[in-house]
Each structure stands twice: as structure tokens, then as C-alpha cells.
Structure 1
């Protein structure tokens, strides 16, 4: 069979994978904290027709002659660029301006005893009936409770029911006004920072998991940063970071992927016509 036919099949498969990623990006264009994906390709092995030869006597050298056997998926990358900021004027909506991620956990017990930990850029948080700050899945926002002296444990942050009002500053300090009208500190939001954010694994629901290539996840308070320190970004209360998907760029990529798919189908049909001619040689 013709090698071009199999090369065309590999190209069609690659373009389909590219369209799958583009479709997911477009579907999440309004998902807060979403980080877009990108597909890269690499060529497959090449069949050597003739090898390279160095110069000998009065004859010059020759370059190798190779025929490529198609393309394959190189990588599907998560692009962690900053998304646009959308103002909501809701005090529990937090946007990160810079690097870093919020850390949330399914359960939090005393002494840095926390359950499965996830990381997110989506900052739409809420209060549960106990006054704890949670996300829309009921997972606790991790930080330091009480005074911000850095000497405590990683814990959930609680705002008392008696609080008259509360606010969150750009450095993550959660403050509230008590019954006497005095300002009190409920806790300090802490952020996780990774050496390689692109190495994080998507876990659904706007969540990421730490992997062997992203850098270690957080285990205690020492693994976290106060917003605005240690290279982490500052918080903006009353705003959300939206998706970093650029619709114009995605539609352009979609067109090129569609044309690439069509071109590869033409390779297959042309190869089929040649095979048909070979079959018709003997009648």
C-alpha cells in the first residue's frame, strides 16, 4: 500500500484531536479561571531511502534521503496566561492578579490534617451555614485562621455569624466588624505557587491536581504564600478572573484544523485513485 495513505490517516487523526481541544476551549469561553489548551504535533519516524555519505577522494558528500511516515500528537498544553478580570462587586469573588492559585480541600482538621487538596484560579467563594469560606462544591478555602502571624496551621477560614460586615484585602487578610464596631481578623488567605503550572493536571470543576512534574502540592502553612509575597499575585476582591480563551484565535485555529483535515482526506482519495489505476492495469 502507498505510504501517503497512512500518512494522511495520521494527519486526519491529529487534526481531529486539535478540533477536540479547540471545541473544549470555545465551550469554556465564559468559565471563570479556565486555562485554555493547545495542541502541538511532531513527525513520526522516517524511512531512510539512502543514508548520508561523507566526502571521499574527489567526490563530495551526500545528504540522507528519507520519506516521512506521517505525524503524531506531540503535546496538549495548558496555557496559564492571565485571564481578563470581570468586576462583580461581590466581596467573596476573588481574582488573582499575577501568579499563584487558591488551594481548597474536601476536609480540614486541626494540625494541618487536610483531605484531598485541589488548586484553582476560579475565585467565586461562598459562606456555608457555619460561616466557613467554601467554593461552589463545598470545598474549604485554605489559609490561616485568626491572627496573621504565620505561626498557626493550615486551616479553613471562618467568619462569625455575629459579624456586621467583612472584607478581604489585596494581601488576603479577611477582616470583619464585630458587635462593638471593632475591626477583627478572621484569617488570612494563603496561595499555592508551582514551579511549573503547566504540569498541573485538570481534575474538572475548575480544579487542578499537583503532579510529579508541576512541583509538590501544599502540605502545611510553610508551603503557601501570602498574596503579594514570594512571587505570588495580589487578590482583587469583588472581581473574577475569566477564561483566557481568545475567540478570534480559536476560530482561526479551527479553520486551519478544518483545512488540514480536508487536505489529509485529499491525500487518501488521491492515493486511492492511484491504487485503482494499478488494479486496472490488468483487465
Structure 2
């Protein structure tokens, strides 16, 4: 069979994948904290017709003659560039300015996200819209972490008082004010950074889990290490560039169309070969 036939099939397959990735990006153009994906192509093995030869006293060297056998998907990469800010004015909405990710716990598993649309549930626990609990540190009377990661919660007011207000600072500390005008920093939101964020595995709900190639999470607080600071009352929008995505749609469509034309042409050549006998 003609090599061009299989090359055309591979071209249709990878351009269909590009369409799938681009379509998903466009669908998530308004998803908080979403990071766009890009499709990377690479050629497949090439068939060797004539190997290279070295030069000699009688003649010069010759280059190899090879024919490519098509294209394949090298990878689908995630673009972790920061998205724009959307001001909501909600005290529990948080945006990371810089690198790093929030740590949330769902079904006993630590997950990571850039989507900071949080709220307190009926128990005073800070959580995502899907019920994953935001992780952080409990603070002592001096505002220092007391141990490992735990759920970020509103405190029980001291006897004879009630909590009148709260806010979250750029350092992730949950600051509360009581009815007797006393104040306290009761918790601090934790953040994680990775050597290779592109290696994280998407698990839905705009969340990720660590993988073998992401490296282990380096856990800290906002403003420490590679972690950025927090902007309260805002959320990070999707970093999808619609202009680029529509351009990718055109490229994928034309690539698919051209590959299908290769298949049609190859089929006509095969038909001509079959008709030689007539």
C-alpha cells in the first residue's frame, strides 16, 4: 500500500486531537482558574531507502534518503501563565498573584488548584464549590503555625463574645474580630509549588494531583519560597486566549482537510494501478 495513505490517516488523527484540545479550551474560556492546553506534534519513524555513506579518495560522501511515515502527538502541555483578575468583592474569594497553588483535600486526597472561589460551610470550614476542604495551618496566640496541615476553619469565640467579622490577608492569615474588640490570627492558608507544574495530572473540578514527573509538592505559605501572595476579593480567570484558539481551530481544520485530500489522492492512485489490468 502507498505510504502516503497511512501518512494522511495519521495527519487526520492528530489534527482531530488538536480540535479536541482546542474545543475544550474554548469551552473553559470562562472557567475560574482554568489553564489552557496546547497540542505538540512530532513526526514518526522514517523509512530508510539508502543509508548515508562516508567520503573516500574516489568519491564524496552521500546523505541518507529517508521517507517519513506520518505524524503523531508528542504531548498535550498545560500553559500555567497567570490569568487576569476578576474582582468579586467576596471576602473568601482569593487569587494567587504569582506562582503556587492552593491545597485542598477531597476524599482524603491532597489536590492542588488555582481556582480560589471559596466559601465557609455550616461548620465554618473553608471549602471549594465541590466540597473540597482548603488546607492550611492552625496558628497559636503569637500567630505562628502549631503543626501540620489541617482544614482552615473559623474559630469558636471565647466565652461571652461572638465573632463580628473576619478577613484574609495577602499572607493567607485568617484574621477575626470579636464583639469585645479583641482580634486574633487563627489560621493561615497553605500553598504548594512544584518543580514541574506541567507534569501535574488533571483530575477535574479545575484541580490537579501530583504525578511521577511533577515532583513532590513543596508546601509553604503565601509569599514564601516560590509562592506568590494572595489578593482577597478577586479570583483568577481562565488564561485561554480566544484569538489564539480560533486560529488553532482554523489550523486544525485545514490540517485535517489537507490530510483527507492526501488520502483521496492516494486512493485515486491505487485505483489507477488496479485499472492497469483492464
Q: Distance in 1 between the 2:152 and 2:277 partners?
A: 82
**CA RMSD across the alignment:** 1.2
Q: Does 1:34 align with 2:27?
A: no
Q: CA deviation at 1:12?
A: 0.3
Q: Distance in 2 between the 1:130 and 1:14 partners?
A: 49
1:236 to 227, 231, 234: 231
Q: CA deviation at 1:106?
A: 2.7
Q: Distance in 2 between the 1:249 and 1:25 partners?
A: 10
Q: Distance in 2 between the 1:205 and 1:157 partners?
A: 20
Q: State the partner residue of 2:252.
A: 257
CA deviations over 1:79-136 (Å, ceiling 9, x no partner): 11101111101110000000000001136xxxxxxx2111000000011111111111
Q: State the partner residue of 1:7.
A: 7
1:135 to 128, 131, 138: 128
Tell me if structure 2 keeps the 8 A contact 1:157–1:186. no
Q: State the partner residue of 1:157.
A: 152
Q: CA deviation at 1:152?
A: 1.9
Q: CA deviation at 1:190?
A: 1.0
Tell me if structure 2 keeps the 8 A contact 1:25–1:245. yes
Q: Does 1:270 align with 2:265?
A: yes
Q: State the partner residue of 1:220.
A: none
Q: Distance in 2 between the 1:73 and 1:226 partners?
A: 38
In the TM superposition, what are the counterparts of 1:166-205 in structure 2 within 5 Å? 166-205=166-205
Aligned length: 271
Q: Does 1:122 align with 2:115?
A: yes
CA deviations over 1:155-192 (Å, ceiling 9, x no partner): 11211473211111111111011121222112101101
Structure 2 unaligned residues grouped into runs of 5+: 157-161
Structure 1 unaligned residues grouped into runs of 5+: 108-114, 218-222
Q: State the partner residue of 1:65.
A: 65
Q: CA deviation at 1:245?
A: 0.4
